[in-house]
Amino acid sequence: MIAIIDYGMGNLHSVSKAVERLGCEAVITADPGTIAQADGAILPGVGAFGDAMQNLRHTKLDEVTKSFAASGKPMLGICLGMQLLFSESEEYGTHGGLNLLPGKVIRFSGDYKIPHMGWNKLSFHKAQSPLFDGLSEGHVYFVHSFHAKPEQESDLLATTDYHQQVTAIVGRGNVYGMQFHPEKSGELGMQLLGNFLSLTKN
């Protein structure tokens, strides 16, 4: 069973349906016991970093999420959910994150279109990652105005190019993050999500 963590922000339904299409049971939940018993957890997110962290702290789901990450079972952050894995964000002020991955989330800055929206090609940096088993680099769908800058190069699994190198997939141990929406990214997105789900069966 995959727990989709419900802290009041995120496209929970589309993520749940994608997980079910890939043959896994998905439960949208804010219950700490249900999350702790899950084989894997997904932290989705749409909206502002500060609001999301406030919701997580208010519901104590920040500690539940950290405990799940410490359990060694696979966890995936999607879009804002990936950004929340980092130490802090500068979105509308400075806000502390879950601090599961060292690094900062910063705003795109330059004379180009913001938000970054559309299909961009992934470049795999850690081809041996289990997320990439059997896959070739291809295009996925992004919508974001802020992007993560990991402190550790080893945490960077894949990037895309949008006027600079942009973090697309991160991972450390059992904790993964995807800046794009795999459930809205066609075949490659579903394959990446499927490879994550396969980790929950090991």
Q: How many CB atoms lie within 10 A of CB 126?
A: 17
68 touches 35 (CB < 8 A):
yes
**Long-range contacts of the stretch 161-169 (C-beta < 8 A, 24+):** 161/120, 161/121, 161/123, 162/108, 162/112, 162/116, 162/120, 163/108, 163/110, 163/112, 164/110, 166/116, 166/120, 168/120, 168/122, 168/123, 168/140, 168/142, 169/122, 169/131
Are the beta carbons of 49 and 9 closer than 8 angstroms?
Answer: no
Residue of 90, 95, 181, 187 marked catalytic: 181
Annotated catalytic residue, options 20, 125, 183, 187: 183
181 is annotated as an active-site residue: yes
Question: Cis peptide leading into 115, omega within 30 of 0?
Answer: yes
Place of tokens 């088993």: 133
**Bridge partner residues of 96 (DSSP):** 88
Instruction: Single out the catalytic residue among 79, 95, 116, 147.
Output: 79
Q: Which H or E element spans position 146?
A: strand 146-150
| % helix, strand, coil for the chain, step of 5 | 30, 35, 35
Catalytic annotation on 183?
yes
Q: Which residues are catalytic?
A: 79, 181, 183
